Structure formats: structure tokens, C-alpha cells
Chains A and B, each alone.
Chain A
């Protein structure tokens, strides 16, 4: 089981990613699209729960549990303290720092856990929770992978990663929500058989308007600058925790 776990986790993440892309492979007629939407939400929830069950065995030692719990509490508190969608900046910072200092698996779990904690404590559970959970978890896992590769340039690489991941997070979150947000009647709705280019333009128009120009940009700038100014002492603080 232990040996199988890592490939299984990667497989589950890929499956979840496929669900994010549902608008591109689901059929487009009004009724079927809404059915496909329901299926996508259900699939995301099921994959999320499965992933958490598989990950549960990865957690060893009371200190790791405690650190995961407290950092998730920190993320959740910061998310609410700074308010609304914009509050994701500090969640990103905490998750990236933790992934960089304590490895991709810890980063993944912290991302997932932060979403769960803030949804349970402050409310705000919805069809989006499973998607948020995966998107935030990937941000943490990615930070762990980036941090391993760039010894001396770690902080610069992480700051760049902060920018890239901010936009990618916005894009994938917009992708699964796109059909729900605009419905089938608008000029930027998904049109079956209209060709990739046209659908892609429609999606990008939607994404630019919804978050890329606003939240994602604010997040990219604030996460990158926080990492440049305080990344080193923040990461060292966590590395001192010595799990």
C-alpha cells in the first residue's frame, strides 16, 4: 500500500484535473450540459474525499499533525481576516512557504486543509469547495517541487512561481465554473463544434473579466513581493520546526 500510494495520488490529481476541464469535453446542449455539470461537481467531491483518505496514511507523528493543523488555522484566519476573494493572497503565501520548507506532500495537504478549515469554521461550503481544495493543494505541492530544484535561486524561483501559480489558479478555477457562470445563452458561452480557437477566445474573455485582470493580478504581485521581502526568514522559521 505504501509503495502504491505516491502513483495513486498522482493519478487522483490527474483525474481531478480532468474534471476541471469538463466544459471542454462535455456535450453542450442545455440539458446535457447541466447534467454534465452536476456530474463534474459530484466527481470532484468523490475524488477529493478519496485523495484525503489515501493521504491520511502519509501523515506520521503528532508534531506533523499539529503543524498541519496550526498552519491551516493560520491560513483560514488570514483568509477571513483579509476578507473575501482577495484574502487568498495570504493563504497562497502560507501554502507556498510551507510547501517550500516542508516538501510537496505537506504543501498539498496544507492547501487542502486550509480550505476545509475555513469552510467549516467560517461557513462557505459550496459546489466550489472540492475544486478550491485541489487548486490550492496543487499550489502547495508545486512550491515544494520548485523549491527542491533551485538551490541558490530558491527565493527568486518561488517568487516567479508565486506569479505563475496565481494566474494558473485563477484560470483553472474559472475553467470549471465558466459554464455555470455564463450559462448557454451568451456570446461567450461554450459552443459545441465551434472549434477550439473560438471556444478558447470565449473562455479567455470570461476569465480576463472575472479574475485574471483583478484578483489574480493583485495576488500575483502581493505574493511575489512578500516572498522576495520575507520569504527567507519565513521559510527558515518553518525549517526550524524540524518535523
Chain B
């Protein structure tokens, strides 16, 4: 945003530039002739159809003055426009959008647009970063950027279209005959004040079910469903649902409308410090980490005091302290009559003993099947003695230090886990390792500078950033093409992570989050890197897929590649790694016992 004085200066610059341009044209096309000739260049005439045109010729004082004089009115108008525009600020537009009736819609869109620009610039930067660590072509960033815009527009539209929250208690949420492509029919009642934990395999339809109750399926995802969902006598269409139901989505980063956390929540809600959000109040929403964004989304939903609160996959985002806070919040809300429905792959992570357990299995809702036999021990990997990767970073963090003095050595085929609370800097550290500066990272004695996915490959916590085509099949083919591998390599890797492949014509973004993650791991593995960095590699994965992911990491290790995983899922970290580091109090230290 340019200030008022800046704009007037800019206008003055443009006006001066305009007069200069006029003189240049006049000089080139013999427009400066007059009595007192200062100097003269022989006239050139091209002839033919251009015979009336002449170049150069006399340059006179009067000629110059006359042209300046003739240029002045337009130069002046540039100044007038510039001065007027100095007073048209985003605030003025925002106020006008509420007052000027004939232009209300456009001014609203304009106001949305103006407050979105900082976020858009950040998204563009993020997409360029993802392209570098993926090794993609420059223009390909446009697809993920555009996708972010559509996601944000959907979220902002949802937010704008929301009716004011309305209190309603003592009503039962009744789902009858609900069905949609492979899901259902589902019949289920949720009593007021009840807490339900919903589990199910990756891609089983948990998120879809929650979106249906929140009234978002048809309106915002364009997916019609059968059956009915009622709260008491009220049919939950999108408008009714928006006043009674609040949903915490799986990836809430896109759903923020405002620029900062305190604007998003409102000063009053921010002061309540739900889920520790008052500490985040000054942060721009686009800069929040996955876990922090999730905390804000929970606070926003809880502050609406909804009759129905839906929470999608909290254990993938929150650390153990966050999950404790969430369990307390849910107990408090359910005591006051709120129906709470939480979808999670690991329901045991939430300390909610009185909760009802349900599972979506093959499209049906049922009490969870008997516990499957515990997974067999992962096979051992022989870790080499030779140190293959050396990392020495003096400090990380732009304005204030996030982590200082990082020193990490990885041996051949070793897997190391990094844990730490939400916002402690796990992702930031991994990002730095994927794009190291001078002298910070050596692999097999060779210095790595900047993004170099064939040596160090990172899979970020938002895997969709890598997708640039419109189907799973073309995404897989493109990945083979980027690394120059034989056709089918990436597909083979994906199959070994997932066990089975979804329909290959599916749009990559219509895949479940867990499947998206598996796909981007497969894509990065096709680079055959020497060091693999995985940011939250099991978020959104069911126990079986987690096992496949663990097996895949083992296979990667067996090729001699070292692996670093950043996760707050301590159980998973312990299964894979003998060495676990923790980030706490701005330091990375080795920990024998840590609480993530």
C-alpha cells in the first residue's frame, strides 16, 4: 500500500515522464523545428507509403518550449488524478461499500480484493518456493496459486454468506438416509450435549460427512447428496446450518477472511484466549503454521457458540498440549448442550472418556470393529557408520531468532525425528534444510546450496502445493517427466505407500488429504534424493496407511538415503527413529524422553 504522499510523488513522476516522452517523440519525428535552431540533424525520409513521415531535423528553443506547453494540460491531468487517488484508500472503499448503494456489490468485491493482496503476495511467494523444492518449471506455479485463490474465495464466500449465529439448544441432530457416491445410507442421531468420536480409513468420507452437516457440500463443493439432516425440526440447508453449525476444517489456513488473527476472531474473542490464541493476536493469518492456524480455527468456531460443533482431524494438527486443551473445551461446550462431533484417525489421542465411538467403514456408520491385531514390529535397518549429511546452521528466524545453533549429523540410512510444540519451528527448520545457505549443509562431503531436490528432497506439510495438473494420472506422468524417469516409476512408489490407487482421473485436490500426502511423497521420492525431509508425514492417515508410510520410509532408508521427519506424533517418531530431537526454548536438543 502506497501512502498519500507517495501517490502524489508517483503522479508527479509520471507527469514529468510524460513530458519527456513527448519531447522524445517530437525529436525523433521532426517536431522541434523553429526560428532559433539549437542544432540540426539531417532529415531522413523513408518514402513509399511512409513518404509524409520525416525523422529528426532542426531542434529549436521555441520547438521545445511549444511542445512542453502543449504537453502541460495532460501532465496536469495526471497530477489531478494522482491527487484524487491519494484519498481513495482501502478504508474509504470499505466504508463506501456499506454506504454507496448502487455500487455495493462491486465495492464489496473491491474491499475483499484490497485486504487480500498481502495474502496473495505471500501465497505467490510460497508457490514459488514449492516450485523450487519440487524442481518444477517456472510457469507451473500459476496452477497452485490459482487453486489457493479459489479455495480462499470459497472460504470467504462461505464466511460472507453466513447468517449470524443463533442459539438453539436441546435439539437432536438427526441424519436420515444420507448418501453420496459410495457413502451411506447413513442414519444416526446425535443427542444434545453428546460427544462423538468418528474414525475411519483414509478417504472413507469422514470429512465429506462433516461438510454435509455443516451445509457446505452442495453450495460450496457442488456435490448433491440424498437423505436429510435436521436439527430438531429445522432442515439444515446451507443458510440454516451456518447459524447453528460450526466446522473446523482439516486445513483451515485458507479459510481466514481477515488479515490478522485479532481481526479474524474479533478483539473480544481473542481476549478469551481460547486454545492459546491471544498469543497469536498480532500475527497475519497467512503466516500461521498448520498447528497455529488450527488453534485459531477452533477458537473461531467455539466463539460462535454453535448448537453443533464439528472438528475435522485435530490430532493431525495439534500437539499433545493442544489436544488436552481441545478436550477440555469440548467437555465444557458439551456440558452446555453443544453437540460435538470429532472426526479423527486416532480417537484415542483425545482424552474424552464419555464420548461415543463410531466408525465409517465401507460407507456405513457403525460402532468401531474390534481392535485389529497390533501391527508387527517394523524391520530393522542397518545404519551405516559413515556420516553422510552434516548440518550446521547458526540461527533461524527472520525478525527474531526461532531456533539457534543447529548441529545435526546423519549417518547413512539413518532416520531422525524432530518433535516440538505447535509453532516451535519444525517446518521452518526443514524448509531451511531443503534450501540451505552457504556452508550449512553437506551431503557426502558436497556442499548443497539452495533447492536441489536430487540431493535433498522435502515434502511440505501442505502437500497440495506440488500439484500442477488436473488428474492423478497426469500428475504421475508429469512427475516421471520432471525427473526423466521411465514411465510408471512414481505410480509404483505411490502404490507401495497406499496399497491401492484411487481412480486415476480424480482431480488431485479431490483426493483425501492423506492420499495427497502419499502422492507428494511419491513425487519427491522419484528424484531419488540422498536426504529426504518429511514434514508431518502421517497427518490425515489412518493406522493402516501410517503403517504403509512407515514401511515406505524403511524402504527409502534401505537405499542408503537418510530421512528426517518432523512430527508431533511421538508414537510414529519412536517407531521409526532411534534418535529423536526436540525443539524447545529455541534450541534443538537430543531427547531420550520427550512429550510432543
The minimal Cβ–Cβ distance linking A201 to chain B, given in whole angstroms, is 5
Q: Determine whether the beta carbon of B67 is less than 8 Å from that of A72.
A: no
Contacts of A209 in B (CB 8 A): 28
Contacts of B147 in A (CB 8 A): 237
**A77, A194, A206, A233: which has the most chain B beta carbons within 10 Å?**
A233
Nearest chain B residue, comparing its CB with the CB of A125? B85
Name B14's contact: one of A120, A126, A205 (CB within 8 Å): A126
Interface residues of B in 58-93 (CB under 8 A from A): 63, 66-67, 70-71, 73-74, 77-78, 81-82, 84-85, 88-90, 93
Question: Cα distance A131–B90 when bound, in Å?
Answer: 22
Q: Determine whether the beta carbon of A63 is less than 8 Å from that of B139.
A: no
Name B31's contact: one of A109, A180, A185 (CB within 8 Å): A185
Contacts of B157 in A (CB 8 A): 61-67
Q: Determine whether the beta carbon of A66 is less than 8 Å from that of B160.
A: yes
Q: Determine whether the beta carbon of B468 is less than 8 Å from that of A230.
A: yes
Question: Cα distance A5–B85 when bound, in Å?
Answer: 30
Which one of B116-124, B244-252, B295-303, B415-423 is at the interface? B116-124
- For chain A, what secondary structure do more than half of its interface residues adopt (helix, strand, loop), or is it mixed? helix
Question: Cα distance A77–B235 when bound, in Å?
Answer: 42
Nearest chain A residue, comparing its CB with the CB of B74? A180
The minimal Cβ–Cβ distance linking A30 to chain B, given in whole angstroms, is 7
The minimal Cβ–Cβ distance linking A237 to chain B, given in whole angstroms, is 5
- Given contacts A56-B102, A65-B108, A230-B142, whether A70 and B116 have CB atoms under 8 Å apart is yes
Given A59-B106, A180-B74, 9 additional A-B pairs, CB 8 A: A37-B73, A65-B160, A66-B160, A68-B109, A93-B142, A123-B11, A186-B26, A230-B139, A232-B470
Q: Determine whether the beta carbon of A202 is less than 8 Å from that of B153.
A: no
B29 at the interface (CB under 8 A from A): yes
Question: Cα distance A3–B285 when bound, in Å?
Answer: 43
Question: Cα distance A145–B374 when bound, in Å?
Answer: 60
- Given contacts A63-B161, A233-B470, whether A121 and B153 have CB atoms under 8 Å apart is no
11 contacts between A and B (CB under 8 A): A34-B70, A34-B73, A66-B152, A67-B150, A117-B110, A117-B114, A121-B1, A180-B74, A182-B29, A188-B29, A233-B143
Q: Determine whether the beta carbon of B22 is less than 8 Å from that of A182.
A: yes
Using an 8 Å CB-CB cutoff, how does the interface string of B147-159 with A read, 1 for contact, 0 for none? 1011011101110
Contacts of B105 in A (CB 8 A): 56-57, 59, 65
B residues within 8 Å of A by Cβ? 1-2, 6-7, 10-11, 14, 18, 21-22, 25-26, 28-33, 49-50, 52-55, 63, 66-67, 70-71, 73-74, 77-78, 81-82, 84-85, 88-90, 93, 102-106, 108-114, 116-117, 120-121, 124, 137, 139-140, 142-143, 145-147, 149-150, 152-154, 156-158, 160-161, 219-222, 468-470, 507, 509
Using an 8 Å CB-CB cutoff, how does the interface string of A28-69 with B read, 1 for contact, 0 for none? 001000100110010000000000110111010111111111
The minimal Cβ–Cβ distance linking A142 to chain B, given in whole angstroms, is 20
Q: Determine whether the beta carbon of B30 is less than 8 Å from that of A186.
A: yes
Contacts of A2 in B (CB 8 A): none
Using an 8 Å CB-CB cutoff, how does the interface string of A62-105 with B read, 1 for contact, 0 for none? 11111111111110111001000000001001100100000000
The minimal Cβ–Cβ distance linking A241 to chain B, given in whole angstroms, is 5
Using an 8 Å CB-CB cutoff, how does the interface string of A179-205 with B read, 1 for contact, 0 for none? 011111111110000100110011001
Question: Cα distance A126–B18 when bound, in Å?
Answer: 12
Q: Determine whether the beta carbon of A185 is less than 8 Å from that of B143.
A: no
Q: Determine whether the beta carbon of A55 is less than 8 Å from that of B143.
A: no
Q: Determine whether the beta carbon of B29 is less than 8 Å from that of A126.
A: no
For chain A, the count of residues having a C-beta within 8 Å of the partner chain is 77
Q: Determine whether the beta carbon of A183 is less than 8 Å from that of B110.
A: no
Q: Determine whether the beta carbon of B160 is less than 8 Å from that of A240.
A: no
Q: Determine whether the beta carbon of A241 is less than 8 Å from that of B150.
A: yes
A218 at the interface (CB under 8 A from B): no
Question: Cα distance A232–B142 when bound, in Å?
Answer: 12
Q: Shortest 3 CB-CB distances between A and B: which pairs?
A: A63-B157, A69-B112, A186-B31
Contacts of B84 in A (CB 8 A): 125
Question: Cα distance A37–B146 when bound, in Å?
Answer: 39
The minimal Cβ–Cβ distance linking B505 to chain A, given in whole angstroms, is 12
Q: Determine whether the beta carbon of B103 is less than 8 Å from that of A56.
A: yes
Q: Determine whether the beta carbon of B49 is less than 8 Å from that of A201.
A: yes
Contacts of B161 in A (CB 8 A): 61-63
- Given contacts A56-B104, A81-B124, A124-B10, whether A187 and B30 have CB atoms under 8 Å apart is yes
Contacts of B90 in A (CB 8 A): 120-121
Contacts of A73 in B (CB 8 A): 112-114, 116-117, 120, 149
Question: Cα distance A119–B7 when bound, in Å?
Answer: 10
**B49, B154, B157: which has the most chain A beta carbons within 10 Å?**
B157
The minimal Cβ–Cβ distance linking A63 to chain B, given in whole angstroms, is 3
Contacts of B152 in A (CB 8 A): 66, 70
The minimal Cβ–Cβ distance linking B416 to chain A, given in whole angstroms, is 36
Contacts of A71 in B (CB 8 A): 149, 153
Name B66's contact: one of A121, A185, A189, A229 (CB within 8 Å): A185
A25 at the interface (CB under 8 A from B): no
Question: Cα distance A219–B53 when bound, in Å?
Answer: 28
Name B120's contact: one of A74, A184, A237 (CB within 8 Å): A74
- Given contacts A122-B2, A202-B52, A238-B146, whether A183 and B70 have CB atoms under 8 Å apart is yes
Contacts of A198 in B (CB 8 A): 52
- Given contacts A113-B113, A117-B113, A240-B150, whether A187 and B31 have CB atoms under 8 Å apart is yes
Question: Cα distance A44–B590 when bound, in Å?
Answer: 68
Question: Cα distance A194–B52 when bound, in Å?
Answer: 10
The minimal Cβ–Cβ distance linking A225 to chain B, given in whole angstroms, is 8
Q: Determine whether the beta carbon of A182 is less than 8 Å from that of B70.
A: no
Nearest chain A residue, comparing its CB with the CB of B77? A127
Interface residues of A in 107-148 (CB under 8 A from B): 109, 113, 116-117, 119-127, 129
Q: Determine whether the beta carbon of A241 is less than 8 Å from that of B153.
A: yes
Contacts of A157 in B (CB 8 A): none
- Given contacts A67-B150, A125-B85, whether A240 and B507 have CB atoms under 8 Å apart is yes
Question: Cα distance A184–B111 when bound, in Å?
Answer: 42
Q: Determine whether the beta carbon of A55 is less than 8 Å from that of B25.
A: no
A12 at the interface (CB under 8 A from B): no
Name A185's contact: one of B18, B26, B110 (CB within 8 Å): B26
The minimal Cβ–Cβ distance linking B409 to chain A, given in whole angstroms, is 39
A24 at the interface (CB under 8 A from B): no
Question: Cα distance A37–B121 when bound, in Å?
Answer: 37
Contacts of B88 in A (CB 8 A): 120, 125
Q: Determine whether the beta carbon of B29 is less than 8 Å from that of A74.
A: no
- Given contacts A59-B106, A81-B124, A123-B7, whether A66 and B53 have CB atoms under 8 Å apart is no
A9 at the interface (CB under 8 A from B): no
Q: Determine whether the beta carbon of B82 is less than 8 Å from that of A125.
A: yes
Question: Cα distance A189–B108 when bound, in Å?
Answer: 43
The minimal Cβ–Cβ distance linking B591 to chain A, given in whole angstroms, is 42
Nearest chain A residue, comparing its CB with the CB of B23? A183
Q: Determine whether the beta carbon of B149 is less than 8 Å from that of A187.
A: no
A221 at the interface (CB under 8 A from B): no
Contacts of A206 in B (CB 8 A): 25
Q: Determine whether the beta carbon of B49 is less than 8 Å from that of A197.
A: yes
Nearest chain A residue, comparing its CB with the CB of B161? A62
A17 at the interface (CB under 8 A from B): no
Name B74's contact: one of A37, A53, A226, A229 (CB within 8 Å): A37
Name B146's contact: one of A59, A129, A234 (CB within 8 Å): A234
The minimal Cβ–Cβ distance linking A37 to chain B, given in whole angstroms, is 7
Question: Cα distance A230–B106 when bound, in Å?
Answer: 29
Q: Determine whether the beta carbon of B71 is less than 8 Å from that of A183.
A: yes
- Given contacts A63-B161, A66-B157, A205-B50, whether A120 and B110 have CB atoms under 8 Å apart is yes
Q: Determine whether the beta carbon of B52 is less than 8 Å from that of A187.
A: yes
